[in-house]
Each structure stands twice: as structure tokens, then as C-alpha cells.
Structure 1
Amino acid sequence: MSDDDDVVVVGARPAPPSDDDIIVTDAAGNPIVIMRPIVPSSGRRHRGRRRPPPPPVADADVIELLSDDEDASPRVVLDPQAQARANALEENRKRERIVEAAKAKMRCPLCLDPYQEMASTTCGHVFCKECITLVVAKIHKCPLCQRKLATRDIHAIFL
């Protein structure tokens, strides 16, 4: 081990597998707590069935304790996989907000209200399902381009 390594071996002691916390210090001597989720037991014992092993430490959240001050809050550092999952979840939420904002701005050309249930015709025009169904049933044409349509030419759109 060279002087540049960030790993400090504090001491090794065999720990029973039921320990919930493992305390390690970094190169500066600051304690780092690695926490594993506790799997609740059902209270019943099943013969021949073993409980799955606890998740590996690599999947755990890492909390760095920067001071002994009780008022200071610890800094939470997520492992790379958890951080990637959190980023993907936030990205999906952002996309959903964008889609919802766009849907609120779009309006049916027949009733001029925001779309209720979007439906498309074979000619590609988009309307509220109820609006276009009523129009096609009466005039058998697209109200925008006058193409001949039947009710089977109307398709639901899912965003």
C-alpha cells in the first residue's frame, strides 16, 4: 500500500452476520457509516428454506460523519447504482411534467377544450375521441381535410 491510497485499515474483527452497521474511517480519520437495510422476519421458521443473504455492502447507502457535533447533519453518499437509479427516476418525473404541460396546452380543434381522450384519424388529425366520433357518425368525413372516414378509422392515442 502506498501513501497515496485512500483506504485506511482500522482493524479487523470477525463480525456476526446480524450486524447492521459497519464503521470505517477514511484517510483523514473521519468516520464513515455504511448502512444495510434490515429485512424483517415473518416470525415463522420454515424448514428447508433459507432466508436470502443480506444485500452486499456495495448496494448500501454511505453516510459520512464529518464532525462529532450532534446538530450537524451527516452527508449521504449513494453508491453509483443507487445514484443512477435516482437520476433515472428524476429524469422520468421531468419528462412526465413536460408531457403533462404539453397536453394542457393542446386543444381539440372541434370543441376547443384540452383533449379528454385523444384520438387520431387515418388522415392523421387529432381530436377528442367523443368529438370526432360524433362528427364522423354524422358527416362521414374528417372535419379538417374532408377525407371520407368511418368510425373504424378512429384510433385512440396514448401519451
Structure 2
Amino acid sequence: MDFTHDTRLSLQALTALVNTRHPDTLTTVADLDDLCDRWRWSGGRNHDEAELQAVRDVRDRLAGFWGADEQTVVNLINALLFEGNALPQLVRHDGFDWHIHATRADDPLVVRMVVEYAMSMMDVVRAGDLDRLSYCAADDCDQVVLDLSRNRSRKFCDSGCGNRSNVAAYRARRKRAD
């Protein structure tokens, strides 16, 4: 399935947020600011410790999308949408063409994030693409992976695990050859 731009961006942002858990790289308001800037979050922000803690607190719940069966994912999506009082609407802003928002711009950041991620996961479920969510294949890594490749071949996270694995395999082949 070829997801829309906003769904792809949301899924990538969701993956990035979940991967801030191990190691914990979301420890300061500045870290949250950087995350929001990187993924171009629109709407109001408090830029305070309470906002940071609310986003930190939701990470484990959002990680529940990975490794879960379809019904569990659907239940989580529906719960997040219900809790966020989702009301889908089409909007254009900040250079993005028409896309869906399901919260008000002045809702708390964590509510906007959770609802946005739930909306993007709806597209994943509807497309039958839950297999695009996996865990890094590196033995020493517990990061989550979002595979948006055409041939569904992505096995490693963005933390350099693929390169480390390839280098280790190369060295092992060289050692056997010697």
C-alpha cells in the first residue's frame, strides 16, 4: 500500500517517538522541542515539564501497536480516538496540502499526537499492513521498525544496526576465509 504523505509522516513520527524509550532520549523540554520540530507538529505548545511528562507517559502505550494482533491494534486505535474526542476534518497549513486533523490546534500536544498516530494506524489496519511494524533484527537492539519499503525488506532500525550487522558479517566472512 502506498500511504498518503500525511500518513507516512505520522507513522514515521510515531516510530521515532516510540524509539525514544530505549535508550531514553526524550528527557528534556528541549528534546521534545527537537522532536516536534523534526516532525513538524503544528498547533499550540506549552514548552513545559508537564507537557514533556505527558508525551513520555504515552510512549509505552503507543508501542503497543508493534507486535500486537489486529484486534488489539483496533481496540487501541478506537480507545485513543475516543479519549482524544477525535473529530476528523480536512485542513491545509504550513505548506502541506489537504490532510486530516482530528483535534483542535489548541488541544494539548499529547492529545494531538495520540489522535494523529491513531488515525495513521487506521490506514495501516485498513490496508492489512500490520506486518510493516516490526522490531529491529539486531540481537542487541529493541527499537521498533516501520517498513515503508516497496518490497517490505526493512529489517533494522535507524540507529545504525544494519551497518553494524553488515560489518560484523563481513568480518566473520573474512575471518573464515583467512
TM-score grouping bracket, smaller chain normalisation: under 0.3
- Name which structure has the greater RCO, CA cutoff 8 Å, separation 6+: 2
Higher strand residue share: 1
- Greater radius of gyration (CA): 1
TM-score, length of structure 1 as denominator length = 0.25
